[in-house]
Every structure is written in C-alpha cells, then in structure tokens.
A = this chain, B = another copy of it.
Amino acid sequence: MLLYDCRTAPSPRRVRIFLAEKAIEIPLREVDLRHGEQFGSEFRAITEDVTVPVLELDDGQRLCDIIGICRYFEEVHPQPALFGSTPLERALIDGVQRWCDREGFYAVMDAFRNSTPGLKNRALPGPADYPQLAALAERSRSRIERFFERLDAMLGRSAYVAGPRFSIADITAMVSVDFAGWIKMTPAAEQTRLHRWLQAVRSRPSAAA
C-alpha cells in the first residue's frame, strides 16, 4: 500500500490526519506539486486527475478521492470510528463533513486559486486549465466569513463540529480553517467557541500529521 502525498498541500493532509487518528502507518511517496511533478507523464499514469492524495492498494487499484480513501480505512480499520457509529451519527457526520467541504475547503480553494499570481490559468485543480476569476475569489472570501460564523455557532451546541465526538468533519473543518490562513483569513477574536475548538483539535497529535 502506498499513499501519494504532498507534505505542504491541504488535501493529502486530511488523509494523513485521518490515518494518524487511527494509528495506521503506511508508506508515503512525496509528489513535488511545487515543481509540477503532477503534470509529468509518470504521475499522469497514476491518476488523470493530476491531484494528490492517491492511495494505491496492494493489487495496484487506486483510490483518488480524499473521502473515498478515508472511507476505505474506516471500513478495514473501524476503530476509532471517525464516520460515526450509529445510523443517525453517520448521517449527521456525512452531512456536516459535506458542508465543511463545500463552504469551507472549496470556498478557500476558490479564493486561493483565483487570486494567487503563481496560479494563473490554474483556477481549478485537475488536468484542464481555467482562467482565474477575480470576482469568484472575492465572493469566496465572503463565503468563508460565513463559514467561520456558522462554525462558531455550531460549536456552541456541541464540543465537535458534528456532535460530542471527534469525527472526519472536524478534520475537514480544521484543515479548511488552516488553509484559510494561506489567504490571510482567520476567525474573529469574538468567535470564542471556534477558537476553543481550534485549540482542542490542533493540540491532538494527529494535527501534526
């Protein structure tokens, strides 16, 4: 088993944290995104998505989706459960994870990719070039503000974003907040519940993964 990884990128970090929470160790292979290794023929043969993470199983089959990879490990190594234990927990965690992904992670990605000078024509990950849309970067920043606000409100109702226990939704949320730091957006000082949670999740050993 092998995980194609990039130490500095937010997407594979989500998987590394998930693995650390489950105390699973697998070999990592670094892909040098900064110098465009993902666009070379060797990596294109691994995945046409030209993105990391990619999990290669022992039979050569590959999984190229963050949540798909995490789901695989949840199935083969169920404890601690990070997708929930009961039908209702699983439903809530899937829903909150999706919300954090859409309103947090992808909003930050849109803001970052549509405004960073080094990413001209790379407004979306994947094999196709798309020009940056400055107005989309701007709109995304406003979405991220709302993401912080609502996260703070949610964390007033439960210790973790999808309930009383740490879950994959917390991983998505924490990595999204950290990723927002790349575009100099951080939760406001008065979002104290969000800060309390951030301190808690960032101090878990897995956060260093």
Report which A residues bind B (CB closer than 8 A): 57, 61, 63-65, 67-69, 71-72, 75-76, 86-88, 90-96, 98-99, 102, 106, 123-124, 128, 130-131, 133, 135-136, 139, 142-143, 146
Contact = CB atoms under 8 A, between A and B. Distances in A.
B95 A65 contact: yes
Enumerate the 7 nearest inter-chain pairs by beta-carbon distance, A residue then B residue, closest first: A68-B95, A65-B95, A75-B87, A72-B91, A68-B91, A68-B94, A71-B94
Contact of A68 (B71, B92, B130, B136): B92
Contact of A135 (B68, B135, B142): B135
Contact of A71 (B57, B90, B124, B142): B90
A96 B71 CA distance: 12
Given A71-B90, A90-B71, A136-B133, A63 B142 contact: no
Report which residue of A91, A96, A142 has the largest number of chain B beta carbons within 10 angstroms of its beta carbon: A91
A4 to B, nearest CB: 15
A139 B133 contact: yes
A201 to B, nearest CB: 21
Contacts of A63: 91-92, 95
A94 B90 CA distance: 14
B65 A90 contact: no
A72 B90 contact: yes
A133 B130 contact: no
A143 B123 CA distance: 12
A126 to B, nearest CB: 8
A120 to B, nearest CB: 15
